[in-house]
Structure 1
């Protein structure tokens, strides 16, 4: 039996990694990130085991919308399902990559980009803007996005999940956030900050986007990957 082939679609989750930005009340822009450090080091734990063994326990502090992550409906709607409520069959689905490379910052893509012959019902639809090449740079902050008309097409088609290789599926200049609103209202999780989608064009695959089962979490980093068929 042949072994499965996998493609990792996840940015490294590391101390000081790129995160999201928000403005404080005084207009100061704050960038949120992850902090990762030893809680207990090998040196500190070695005496606990009479010098015969040692272990590190790692401590992490982060907002859940950093790295490659998934938004559950609770991200947009109070009282809606959180990441712990999502079932595995909602998070592991046949995948379709839509090639939308070559777009300009803040260019909206409409329904014409969807393949005419694709059955998108129950599929994870991933939009490859090629924006992962800008990860960690200022260029990553201004990006093309999924238009409201395209979102309507996706919801009508019955997609299971939508993913992008940008920092936001919505135009961050639009406070109504129609992409998140319509997808999450329809129960469709959103994955952002994907990478490496170039490897999946014209290849059948299953997309895995499973977070830890965190009760009360509206979003959560994931190890996103494709299982090639």
Structure 2
């Protein structure tokens, strides 16, 4: 049987968000009791909470929303590459050891243990040159185990702009702690949110048959 790795962090009250972003909140619109057979919750959250896919609209005022995107990049052969401890930027030299014959999707692990319960202002990010070289190699989607492919303090979002220019898709906030370096099948479908700039995903990897 194929093994499954759940690479999504838990989402609940207290889940870290980018400073100033909307934290996860949950209230009950209905509760099981006399005259009510169901529990129904109301959620308030940023679409960037937990594992998520950015839409072009996030970094391009004329970009597509997440609900308008083709799902193909979010499903299929994928390679996990370890660059543990690299900081502040993942350079090509940090992933070159596993960059031969790349599949269309590449996820990079930078943490020994991804901080699922706190914001990390010193998160590792991609060098824009690394994104460009991955695009040159035919990669359609890149992912990382931090909250952004750009440094937290960046105002120019250089790696996001390369993504925009080259038409790549991106996943952020993945949990790759228990995933060995190697090739897998990625399944990380965003919700069909027709006006949103991102979407949470339940990202998993499956071992190849």
CA distance in 2, matches of 1:181, 1:124: 18
Secondary structure of the residue that 2:77 maps to in structure 1? strand
Offset of 1:201 from its aligned partner?
A: 1.5
Counterparts of residues 44-123 of structure 1 (less than 5 Å): 46-48=34-36, 54-104=37-87, 107-112=88-93, 113-115=95-97, 118-120=100-102, 123=104
Is contact 1:125-1:161 (8 Å) kept? Answer: yes
Aligned residues: 207
Aligned-residue offset at 1:196 = 2.7
Deviations 1:98-142 (A, max 9, x none): 1100224xx222112234652235x2110100264333235x221
User: Where does the alignment leave 5 or more consecutive residues of structure 1 unmatched?
Assistant: 23-30, 49-53
TM-score (norm 2): 0.90
CA contact (8 A) 1:64 1:220 kept: yes
Does structure 1 residue 223 correspond to structure 2 residue 207?
no
**Once the two structures are superposed, what CA deviation does each residue of 1:186-219 show, in whole Å capped at 9, x if it has no partner?**
22111111003542323x3111111111101110
1:56-88 Cα distance to aligned partner (Å, 9 max, x none): 111101111111111011111123221112222
Partner SS state of residue 47, structure 1? coil
Point out 4+ residue stretches in structure 1 off by more than 6 angstroms. none
How big is the shift at 1:17? 1.8
Q: Could you tell me which of 15, 19, 38 is aligned with 2:13?
A: 15
Q: Which residue of 2 aligns with 1:124?
A: 105
Shift of 1:222: 0.6
5+ residue gaps, structure 2, are: none
Q: Which has the larger radius of gyration?
A: 1
Which whole-Å CA distance do the structure 2 matches of 1:168 and 1:154 have between them? 17
Q: 1:172 to 1:133 in 2, by over 3 A?
A: closer
Does the 8 Å CA contact 2:112/2:177 hold for their aligned counterparts? Answer: no
Mapped to 1, the partners of 2:96 and 2:174 lie a distance apart of 19
Aligned to 2:123: 143
RMSD: 1.9
Question: What TM-score, normalized to structure 1?
Answer: 0.83
Residues 57 and 65 of structure 2 are in contact (CA less than 8 Å); yes or no, is this contact kept in structure 1?
yes
Partner residue, 2:150 = 170
SS at match of 2:114: helix
CA contact (8 A) 1:132 1:193 kept: no
